[in-house]
Copies of this chain bind each other. A is one copy, B any other.
Amino acid sequence: MTEDHFDDTPVQAERFSQTRTAQSQALLEDYTEMIDDLIRAHGEARITDIARLMGVTHPTATKAVARLKREGLAVSRPYRGVFLTELGSGMAERVRGRHRLVVDLLVAVGVPPEAAETDAEGIEHYVSDATLTAFAAFLTRQP
Protein backbone atom coordinates (compact mmCIF):
# COMPACT_ATOMS: atom_id res chain seq x y z
CA MET A 1 0.00 0.00 0.00
CA THR A 2 1.12 3.55 -0.65
CA GLU A 3 2.77 5.52 2.12
CA ASP A 4 1.61 9.00 1.21
CA HIS A 5 1.80 11.85 3.61
CA PHE A 6 -1.83 12.27 2.92
CA ASP A 7 -2.22 15.97 3.42
CA ASP A 8 -4.50 16.48 0.45
CA THR A 9 -6.62 19.51 1.10
CA PRO A 10 -10.22 18.42 1.55
CA VAL A 11 -11.55 19.65 -1.79
CA GLN A 12 -13.86 16.66 -1.68
CA ALA A 13 -15.14 17.72 1.72
CA GLU A 14 -16.09 21.01 0.09
CA ARG A 15 -18.14 19.14 -2.51
CA PHE A 16 -19.94 17.02 0.04
CA SER A 17 -20.72 20.05 2.16
CA GLN A 18 -22.22 21.77 -0.85
CA THR A 19 -24.28 18.70 -1.58
CA ARG A 20 -25.62 18.71 1.97
CA THR A 21 -26.49 22.38 1.70
CA ALA A 22 -28.33 21.74 -1.55
CA GLN A 23 -30.26 18.99 0.16
CA SER A 24 -31.63 21.33 2.80
CA GLN A 25 -32.79 23.66 0.04
CA ALA A 26 -34.42 20.90 -1.96
CA LEU A 27 -37.54 20.52 0.15
CA LEU A 28 -38.11 24.27 0.26
CA GLU A 29 -37.94 24.34 -3.51
CA ASP A 30 -40.26 21.39 -3.97
CA TYR A 31 -42.92 22.79 -1.68
CA THR A 32 -42.62 26.25 -3.15
CA GLU A 33 -43.09 24.95 -6.66
CA MET A 34 -45.99 22.77 -5.58
CA ILE A 35 -47.73 25.69 -3.91
CA ASP A 36 -47.20 27.77 -7.01
CA ASP A 37 -48.72 24.99 -9.14
CA LEU A 38 -51.76 24.81 -6.89
CA ILE A 39 -52.31 28.54 -6.88
CA ARG A 40 -52.14 28.62 -10.65
CA ALA A 41 -54.64 25.78 -10.89
CA HIS A 42 -57.05 26.64 -8.09
CA GLY A 43 -56.29 30.13 -6.92
CA GLU A 44 -55.08 28.90 -3.57
CA ALA A 45 -52.96 26.14 -2.03
CA ARG A 46 -54.67 24.12 0.66
CA ILE A 47 -52.66 22.07 3.12
CA THR A 48 -54.55 18.90 2.26
CA ASP A 49 -53.75 19.24 -1.43
CA ILE A 50 -50.13 20.07 -0.80
CA ALA A 51 -49.84 17.01 1.41
CA ARG A 52 -51.57 14.69 -1.03
CA LEU A 53 -49.48 15.81 -3.99
CA MET A 54 -46.24 15.68 -2.06
CA GLY A 55 -47.10 12.23 -0.82
CA VAL A 56 -46.94 13.10 2.88
CA THR A 57 -49.46 13.43 5.71
CA HIS A 58 -50.97 16.78 6.45
CA PRO A 59 -49.02 17.52 9.64
CA THR A 60 -45.83 17.07 7.65
CA ALA A 61 -47.07 19.55 5.08
CA THR A 62 -48.01 21.95 7.87
CA LYS A 63 -44.50 21.75 9.28
CA ALA A 64 -43.00 22.37 5.88
CA VAL A 65 -45.20 25.40 5.34
CA ALA A 66 -44.16 26.68 8.76
CA ARG A 67 -40.58 26.48 7.59
CA LEU A 68 -41.43 28.28 4.34
CA LYS A 69 -43.00 31.05 6.41
CA ARG A 70 -39.95 31.22 8.64
CA GLU A 71 -37.79 31.61 5.54
CA GLY A 72 -40.04 34.33 4.19
CA LEU A 73 -41.18 32.34 1.17
CA ALA A 74 -44.85 31.93 2.06
CA VAL A 75 -47.64 33.42 4.12
CA SER A 76 -50.82 31.92 5.56
CA ARG A 77 -53.44 32.46 8.22
CA PRO A 78 -55.05 29.70 10.27
CA TYR A 79 -57.60 27.66 8.32
CA ARG A 80 -56.87 29.74 5.23
CA GLY A 81 -54.83 28.73 2.23
CA VAL A 82 -51.10 29.16 1.75
CA PHE A 83 -49.73 31.83 -0.56
CA LEU A 84 -46.28 32.77 -1.77
CA THR A 85 -44.43 35.99 -1.05
CA GLU A 86 -42.51 37.84 -3.75
CA LEU A 87 -39.49 35.84 -2.69
CA GLY A 88 -41.41 32.60 -2.93
CA SER A 89 -42.83 33.40 -6.34
CA GLY A 90 -39.37 34.22 -7.60
CA MET A 91 -38.04 30.93 -6.34
CA ALA A 92 -40.96 29.04 -7.86
CA GLU A 93 -40.30 30.63 -11.22
CA ARG A 94 -36.60 29.82 -11.14
CA VAL A 95 -37.26 26.28 -9.99
CA ARG A 96 -39.82 25.78 -12.71
CA GLY A 97 -37.42 26.94 -15.40
CA ARG A 98 -34.63 24.79 -14.09
CA HIS A 99 -36.89 21.76 -13.93
CA ARG A 100 -37.98 22.20 -17.52
CA LEU A 101 -34.41 22.66 -18.65
CA VAL A 102 -33.25 19.50 -16.90
CA VAL A 103 -36.09 17.43 -18.33
CA ASP A 104 -35.47 18.81 -21.80
CA LEU A 105 -31.79 18.00 -21.62
CA LEU A 106 -32.41 14.48 -20.41
CA VAL A 107 -34.85 13.89 -23.22
CA ALA A 108 -32.43 15.44 -25.71
CA VAL A 109 -29.73 12.93 -24.82
CA GLY A 110 -32.19 10.08 -25.19
CA VAL A 111 -33.74 9.49 -21.78
CA PRO A 112 -37.33 8.22 -21.98
CA PRO A 113 -39.72 11.05 -21.03
CA GLU A 114 -41.21 9.24 -18.05
CA ALA A 115 -37.80 8.50 -16.55
CA ALA A 116 -36.66 12.03 -17.37
CA GLU A 117 -39.54 13.48 -15.41
CA THR A 118 -38.96 11.28 -12.39
CA ASP A 119 -35.18 11.67 -12.31
CA ALA A 120 -35.37 15.41 -12.85
CA GLU A 121 -37.25 15.65 -9.57
CA GLY A 122 -34.12 14.56 -7.76
CA ILE A 123 -31.48 15.95 -10.11
CA GLU A 124 -32.70 19.51 -10.47
CA HIS A 125 -31.69 20.52 -6.97
CA TYR A 126 -28.03 19.78 -7.59
CA VAL A 127 -27.53 21.51 -10.90
CA SER A 128 -25.31 24.58 -10.65
CA ASP A 129 -25.72 27.70 -12.73
CA ALA A 130 -22.70 26.76 -14.82
CA THR A 131 -24.28 23.43 -15.65
CA LEU A 132 -27.62 25.04 -16.35
CA THR A 133 -25.99 27.42 -18.78
CA ALA A 134 -24.27 24.52 -20.52
CA PHE A 135 -27.58 22.67 -20.76
CA ALA A 136 -29.25 25.66 -22.37
CA ALA A 137 -26.40 26.04 -24.84
CA PHE A 138 -26.51 22.37 -25.73
CA LEU A 139 -30.26 22.49 -26.33
CA THR A 140 -29.86 25.53 -28.54
CA ARG A 141 -27.43 23.84 -30.88
CA GLN A 142 -29.20 20.46 -30.75
CA PRO A 143 -32.94 21.11 -31.06
Contact = CB atoms under 8 A, between A and B. Distances in A.
A104 to B, nearest CB: 12
Interface in A49-63: 49, 52-56
Contacts of A49: 6
Interface stretch (A67-75, A90-98, A134-142): A134-142
Most buried by B among A2, A16, A116: A16
A10 B131 contact: no
What are the 10 A-B residue pairs with the smallest beta carbon separation, nearest first?
A122-B126, A13-B55, A1-B43, A115-B130, A110-B134, A111-B134, A109-B138, A19-B122, A17-B55, A111-B131
Interface of A: 1-2, 4, 6, 10, 12-19, 22-23, 30, 41-44, 49, 52-56, 105-106, 109-112, 115-119, 121-123, 125-128, 130-131, 134-135, 137-138
25 contacts: A1-B43, A6-B49, A12-B53, A12-B55, A15-B118, A16-B30, A16-B56, A16-B121, A18-B121, A23-B23, A23-B122, A105-B109, A106-B131, A109-B109, A109-B134, A109-B138, A110-B134, A111-B131, A111-B134, A112-B130, A115-B130, A115-B131, A123-B126, A123-B127, A126-B126
